[in-house]
């Protein structure tokens, strides 16, 4: 039984500064959107560093809680908008315990607010 519940998370892992993307991920995203690999490359990613885990990194967009977040994260529903075509790193995460989930659970218990979302940046 997992020790986390992604359905209650506001998307902490989606706010990582670098979300690596492999060529195979980009091919899957291109197929998902019905566009060419070149179009997907131009639209969805920037050049990455292989030492960070991928040839590319995902483009990010503004988010009220984290400042920036994955471009595929739906900021209204707080869920992935391309879940079926998501990147390899997203498919593998989390393994074991999720520190972000533990943090969120603790903050909500401490604040006595089941809907509370802890901001990670100053507005």
110 domain residue, yes or no: no
In a domain, 73, yes or no: yes
Position 123 scores a pLDDT of 45
Residue 8 counted as domain residue: no
- 122 assigned to some structural domain: no
Q: What is the pTM of this model?
A: 0.77
In which domain, by residue range, is 89 found?
14-95
Number of domains in the chain: 1
The answer as to whether 121 is a domain residue is: no
Q: Is residue 86 part of a domain?
A: yes
Summarised one tens digit per residue, pLDDT across range 78-110 is 889 999 999 998 888 776 677 777 777 788 888
What residue ranges of the chain have pLDDT lower than 50?
A: 1, 122-123
Domain-embedded: residue 23: yes
* pLDDT at residue 35, as a whole number: 98
CA-CA distance, 45 to 20, in Å (whole number)?
A: 9
Considering the domain boundaries, does residue 35 fall inside one? yes
Q: What DSSP string describes 45-88?
A: EEE--GGGTSSEEE-EEEETTTEEEETTEETTTTEETTGGG--H
Q: What is the pLDDT of residue 33?
A: 97
pLDDT at 22: 92
pLDDT of residue 10: 77
């Amino acid at each position: 039984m997992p020790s986390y519940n992604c359905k209650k998370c506001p998307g902490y892992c989606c706010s990582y500064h670098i979300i690596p993307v492999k060529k195979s991920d980009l091919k899957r995203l291109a197929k998902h959107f019905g566009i060419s690999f070149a179009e997907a490359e131009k639209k969805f990613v920037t050049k990455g560093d292989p030492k960070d885990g991928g040839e590319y990194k995902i483009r990010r967009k503004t988010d009220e809680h984290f400042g920036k977040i994955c471009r595929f994260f739906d900021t209204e529903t707080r869920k992935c908008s391309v879940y079926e075509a998501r990147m390899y790193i997203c498919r593998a995460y989390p393994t074991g315990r999720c520190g972000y989930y533990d943090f969120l659970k603790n903050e909500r218990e401490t604040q006595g607010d089941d809907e509370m979302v802890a901001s990670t940046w100053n507005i």
